[in-house]
């Protein structure tokens, strides 16, 4: 498995190793400890920085591709919705009731 840092701050790409065997291609998926370590890394970064990793809604909002009210409507009753609301609060965007 390879963890690749991308040009986007705090965004990483996790690539499993792919093998070509006699019966076709297969991915390295049997190493649960390595994938768990990658998940723990993501969780630690998110907790320490207070930011989500690979949050497409955050990018869409910053680029103006989505309106704040669309985010609130889509994610209003869960933890991810609370994060989106904090994004809107931090940017002083009007938040629909």
Mean pLDDT, all residues of the chain: 76
pLDDT for the residue numbered 63: 86
pLDDT for the residue numbered 74: 66
Show contacts of 78-87: CB within 8 Å, 24+ apart: 80/52, 83/52, 83/55, 84/57, 84/58, 87/58, 87/61
Show contacts of 30-38: CB within 8 Å, 24+ apart: 31/1, 34/1, 35/1, 38/1, 38/3, 38/14
pLDDT for the residue numbered 79: 78
Spans of the chain below 70 pLDDT: 28-30, 72-76, 91-97
Alpha helices in 18-55 (DSSP H): 32-49
pLDDT for the residue numbered 86: 79
- The pTM (predicted TM-score) of the whole model is 0.44
pLDDT for the residue numbered 93: 47
Length of the chain: 97
pLDDT for the residue numbered 7: 82
Yes or no: say if 50 and 44 are a contact pair by the CB < 8 Å rule. no
């Amino acid at each position: 498995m390879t963890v690749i840092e991308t040009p986007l701050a705090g965004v990483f790409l996790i690539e499993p190793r792919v093998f070509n065997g006699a019966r076709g291609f297969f991915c390295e998926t049997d190493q649960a400890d390595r994938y768990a370590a990658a998940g723990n890394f993501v969780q630690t970064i998110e907790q320490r920085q207070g930011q989500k990793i690979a949050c497409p809604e955050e990018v869409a909002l910053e680029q103006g591709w989505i309106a704040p009210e669309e985010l609130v409507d889509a994610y209003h009753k869960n933890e991810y919705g609370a994060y989106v609301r904090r994004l809107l609060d931090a940017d002083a965007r009007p938040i629909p009731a």
